[in-house]
Amino acid sequence: MKRLLTTLAATSLLAFAGTAFAQEYNEVPAGDVQYKQCLARVNKLYEGGDEKSPFPRQNKAQAYCTCLWNETPDDFKGNLSKFADSERGKKLDRICTKYSNWD
C-alpha cells in the first residue's frame, strides 16, 4: 500500500509539474513582422514545425515563435530565430523548445 501511495504521489507531482509549465504566452498581434520572420526561418531550417504543439490552435513552430516573441525584451528589434540560434540566445532556445514540445 505504501508503494502504491508513493507511486500515486510521484505521478501527481509529475502531472502538476507538466501543467505548471503549460502556461500560455500572450498572443502575438496579427501581422507582427518579427513573428512572421521567425515562422518562415524555423520552418525553412527545421523539420516538425507543422506538428501539433501542447497548445490549441498552434503548431510547434507557432508555439516556439510565440515563446520567443514573448521572452525577448520589448525593445528587441532583431530576428527572433537567429537570436535563439546565437550564443546569447541559447537559454531562450531551450525554454521555447521545451514550451513548444519541439525536440
Quick one: pLDDT at residue 22? 55
Cell of residue 67, nine digits: 515563446
The single-letter DSSP state of residue 51 is: S
Strand partners, 59: 52
pTM of the model: 0.78
Cα pseudo-dihedral 40, 70, 86, 51, rounded to 10: -40
Reduced to 3 states, what is the DSSP secondary structure of residue 28? coil
Helices (H) and strands (E) in the chain, counts: 5, 0
Quick one: pLDDT at residue 99? 96
CB 57 within 8 A of CB 27: no
pLDDT truncated to tens, each residue of the chain (103 aa)?
Answer: 444 333 344 444 444 444 345 578 999 999 999 999 999 999 999 999 999 999 999 999 999 999 999 999 999 999 999 999 999 999 999 999 999 999 8
